[in-house]
C-alpha cells in the first residue's frame, strides 16, 4: 500500500479582517451622524439672529412699518421669529400692499397703536386695526391679531 497523501504544513486560519474593517467603518459613520445631529440641534435651537424688540407691541409696530410703509420684505422678515420666517410669503404680502398702493390713487396705510391683549411668560397676543385710505376717500379696515414670542427680544410669529 502507498503512503497517505501529503498534507503539507498546517496553515493558520485567516483572520476575518473584512468584518472588523466594516464594523469600525460603521462605528465611525454612526459617531459622525450623531455628532452632526447634536451640532445642528445646538446651532438651530435658538436660531434668532440679532436682537428682537423690547416689547411685544413694538415688535408688531416695527413689522407693520416694514410691510406697509417701507414695503421692504427683508426688513419685515427681520422682525419675524425663525420658526415662522417664510421669505416668499413675506415678499408676497409686500407685493400685495404695493399692488393696492398702485391700484388706488393716493393709497395710505395706518394702524391703531398695537395693544397687548394677553401676555404669559414668553408669549403675547397683540391686536391692531390696519386702515387703508385712498385719495378719493375710500376706506378699508382689517383687524389683525399677532402672536409674538420672546427669545432674544420679541418676535412676530403669527398673524391672523
What is the predicted pLDDT for the residue at 111?
95
Residue identified by cell 414668553 is 122
Average of pLDDT values for 102-117?
A: 92
Looking at every residue in the chain, the average pLDDT score rounds to 84
Q: What angle do CA 90, 136, 68 make, to 5 degrees?
A: 15
Share of the chain above pLDDT 70, in %: 82
Phi then psi for 130, rounded to 5 degrees? -95, 135
Domains of the chain: residue spans and CATH: 56-159 (3.10.450.100)
What is the predicted pLDDT for the residue at 76?
93
Average of pLDDT values for 123-138?
A: 93
Say if residues 96 and 105 touch (Cβ distance below 8 Å). no
Higher pLDDT, 26 or 94: 94
According to DSSP H, which parts of 53-155 are helical? 56-64, 73-77, 87-103
Higher pLDDT, 118 or 51: 118
Say if residues 79 and 66 touch (Cβ distance below 8 Å). yes
What is the predicted pLDDT for the residue at 91?
94
Stretch (H or E) spanning 35: helix 17-44
**pLDDT digits over 17-55, tens only?**
777 787 788 888 888 878 777 665 444 444 455 788 899
| pLDDT of residue 64 exceeding 80 | yes
What gap in Å lies between CA 117 and CA 55, rounded to an integer?
13
Say if residues 56 and 154 touch (Cβ distance below 8 Å). yes
| pLDDT of residue 94 exceeding 90 | yes
Amino acid at each position: 500500500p502507498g503512503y497517505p497523501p501529503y498534507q503539507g504544513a498546517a496553515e493558520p486560519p485567516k483572520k476575518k479582517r473584512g468584518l472588523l474593517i466594516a464594523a469600525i467603518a460603521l462605528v465611525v459613520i454612526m459617531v459622525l451622524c450623531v455628532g452632526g445631529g447634536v451640532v445642528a440641534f445646538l446651532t438651530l435651537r435658538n436660531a434668532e439672529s440679532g436682537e428682537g424688540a423690547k416689547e411685544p407691541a413694538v415688535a408688531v409696530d416695527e413689522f407693520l412699518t416694514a410691510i406697509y410703509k417701507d414695503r421692504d420684505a427683508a426688513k419685515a422678515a427681520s422682525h419675524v421669529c425663525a420658526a415662522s420666517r417664510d421669505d416668499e410669503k413675506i415678499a408676497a404680502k409686500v407685493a400685495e400692499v404695493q399692488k393696492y398702493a398702485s391700484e388706488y390713487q393716493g393709497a395710505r396705510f395706518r394702524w391703531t397703536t398695537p395693544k397687548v391683549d394677553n401676555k404669559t411668560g414668553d408669549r403675547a397676543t397683540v391686536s391692531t386695526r390696519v386702515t387703508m385710505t385712498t385719495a378719493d376717500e375710500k376706506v378699508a379696515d382689517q383687524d389683525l391679531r399677532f402672536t409674538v414670542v420672546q427669545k432674544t427680544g420679541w418676535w412676530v410669529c403669527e398673524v391672523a
